[in-house]
Chain A
Amino acid sequence: MAFAWKKSFTYSKYLSLCSQAVRDALKPELRAQSQARSTVEFVYSKWKDGSVQYTKSGTPKEEENNTKEG
């Protein structure tokens, strides 16, 4: 079924799961190089008055299952 992941995840979470599966299936040398990409999916900074307050990194959170049911 197309877009089956929509029931369970946000797209970013689904994509990070797929990327992690691909990285884990690589040859050991390449897997080591790619590990940095698995711990951090995005980096964000809070700005105030033209300067950075803090910088944090994160991975996509899992969406609550079945949001349509409320």
Chain B
Amino acid sequence: MLSLRAVLNPGFSWRPVLNKLPRTLYVTRKYAKNAAKATSEAPAADGLLLSFALPSSTLYERTPVTQVDIPTEHGDMGILKNHVPIIECLRPGVIKITDVNGATDKLFSAGGFAVQQPNNHLCITSPEAFRLDDFASVSEVTSLLDQAKTQQATASETEKPAVDVRISVLEAILQALRG
């Protein structure tokens, strides 16, 4: 009821009044709409753009690619253009990038996150990522794994989870180097 007493009441809201007016006369909040729109600094692209950054260096910066295969905590997935926006926590594993010419690039990453933005921009961030020929030989990594396994046998309850993580990462590296 639009009376002076009602308007002066501290609990009064103009919203019901405004809702009756034509929408062009007042401003509505458009957070979701604006977020869905491409921003001026990052317009929506036709193909998939990849940005892959480490704290120490940037490996890819808005590079057009065809497909990116990522190992996530929910499983392995391949990201193509126009993928639905997602945020995925990465497992230590191989990220395989297929560029527009069909050439593939494999990087073993220690984990991190992959975020598919609404504007066809895939942003991967990882603390460490190296190409497979930057790793030591299979025999050297195997000896590291054996050291970790002997450590696991003698580890206390509090140390065990850390050693288990180390073993799983070294096993993933070996699998990548062999396969």
A positions within 8 Å CB-CB of B: 2-3, 5, 7-9, 14-28, 30, 34, 37, 62, 65
Contacts and interface: CB of A to CB of B under 8 A. Distances in A.
Contact of B110 (A2, A3, A9, A22): A22
B130 A26 contact: yes
A11 B112 CA distance: 10
B169 A21 contact: yes
B162 A3 contact: no
Contacts of A21: 92, 110, 165-166, 169-170, 173
A68 to B, nearest CB: 15
9 contacts: A5-B165, A17-B165, A18-B111, A18-B127, A21-B173, A25-B136, A25-B170, A27-B135, A37-B56
Contacts of A15: 110-112, 127
Nearest to B56: A37
A18 B130 contact: no
Interface of B: 55-56, 73-74, 89, 92, 108-112, 127-128, 130, 134-136, 140-141, 144, 157-158, 161-162, 165-166, 169-170, 173
B130 A22 contact: yes
Contacts, number: 77
B9 to A, nearest CB: 45
B147 to A, nearest CB: 10
Given A22-B110, A25-B135, A30 B92 contact: no
* Main SS at interface, chain B: mixed
* Main SS at interface, chain A: helix
Contacts of A23: 128
Contacts of B135: 25-27
B128 A34 contact: yes
Contacts of B112: 15
Closest 10 CB pairs of A and B: A8-B161, A21-B169, A18-B110, A22-B110, A2-B73, A19-B110, A19-B127, A17-B165, A22-B128, A19-B128
Residue of A21, A24, A28, A65 ringed by the most chain B CB atoms within 10 A? A21
B74 to A, nearest CB: 6
